[in-house]
Amino acid sequence: MRALVISDIHANIDALRAIDEPCDAVVCLGDIVDYGPEPAACIDYLRNLTVPLLRVRGNHDNAVAFRVDCACGEAFKHLSILTREYMWQVLDREQLEWIGEPETILNLESGGSSAYATHGAPSDNLFRYLTPETGHEDLALELKTAGADIVLTGHTHKPFIRKIDGRLMVNVGSVGQPRDGIAKVSYAVLEDGKLELKRANYDIAVVVGKLKALPLDTGAIGELAYILENAGTPPRNPDDEFLPACKCL
């Protein structure tokens, strides 16, 4: 089976549609919503795939579906809060229920190898960050916790592959909002127990235009545009003020 593995779409339908990869199934590691301009289009796209969709729930999916804190990094939390309220305005009840349906762990098989898929990490499915800088010992413990040949994660928006004691720890990066300095769609292909990280170009200017049309704080829109254009954390003025946290947090 040739599986397309994606994560962190973040309501960016243009980035999602830019992936042109033949596959037998799609594995989605969560975070379909928040940050981007078109959550409904992303949900509908995934629901109407012509191949099976296997998925887990991400921390932003969890926050939007159940109206709880996303517990994301402080550098991005204000943007999550702001856009989450927009998600609630444009998604209907059925769509909200759909993004909250999956479990946080998915076990797969590929070419005789076992694969464990989650959004964050085996030790903390929704919230722990595994980055290219995470130490060897920490990753080895995560692999031990998963008990699989391959561990597939997302959440950090920073792709990497590390081989430890013959097993693979993988972060597939972000489809809709990469943050590793490479402003391209990031995804992976898993086939016969082998995994390849890939990139795709898309028209970022079109998405920035859609962001600017949203009824949101202009400063936050500028930050979101910067993230898309530069694939990094935007500089912030510590005196900037944004909308207060919603009452559900």
- Between 10-24, 158-172, 227-241, the lowest mean confidence (pLDDT) is in 227-241
Query: Above 70 in pLDDT, residue 194?
Result: yes
Q: Which residue has the higher pLDDT, 54 or 71?
A: 54
Query: Above 90 in pLDDT, residue 181?
Result: yes
Which pLDDT score is estimated for 236? 63
Which pLDDT score is estimated for 247? 32
Task: Dig out the tokens for 173 from the structure.
Answer: 């990066």
Which pLDDT score is estimated for 237? 56
In this prediction, what percent of the chain has a pLDDT beyond 90?
A: 88
Which pLDDT score is estimated for 243? 39
Residue 102: which H helix or E strand, with range? none
Average pLDDT score over residue span 125-130:
97
Confidence of residue 74 (pLDDT cuts 50, 70, 90): confident
Spatial separation of the C-alpha atoms in residues 3 and 55, rounded to whole Å: 12
In this prediction, what percent of the chain has a pLDDT beyond 70?
A: 94
If phi > 0 it is left, if psi is from -120 to 50 it is alpha, else beta; for residue 100 that is alpha
Predicted TM-score (pTM) of the model is 0.93
Spatial separation of the C-alpha atoms in residues 53 and 33, rounded to whole Å: 17
Query: Above 60 in pLDDT, residue 191?
Result: yes
Average pLDDT score over residue span 93-101:
97
Averaged pLDDT of the chain: 93
Residue 153 and residue 126 in contact, taking contact as beta carbons nearer than 8 Å? no
Spatial separation of the C-alpha atoms in residues 217 and 83, rounded to whole Å: 10
**Domains of the chain from N-terminus onward:** 2-230 (3.60.21.10)
Query: Above 50 in pLDDT, residue 77?
Result: yes
Which pLDDT score is estimated for 238? 42
Residue 56 and residue 116 in contact, taking contact as beta carbons nearer than 8 Å? no
Average pLDDT score over residue span 195-217:
97
Query: Above 80 in pLDDT, residue 242?
Result: no
Residues 219-230 pLDDT 10s? 999 999 999 999
**Ordered strands of the 105-110 beta sheet:** 105-110, 113-118, 150-153, 167-171, 160-164
Percentages helix, strand, coil for the chain (3-state, rounded to 5) are 30, 20, 45
Average pLDDT score over residue span 82-101:
96
Average pLDDT score over residue span 201-205:
98
Q: Which residues pair with 26 in a beta bridge?
A: 4, 53
Which pLDDT score is estimated for 53? 98
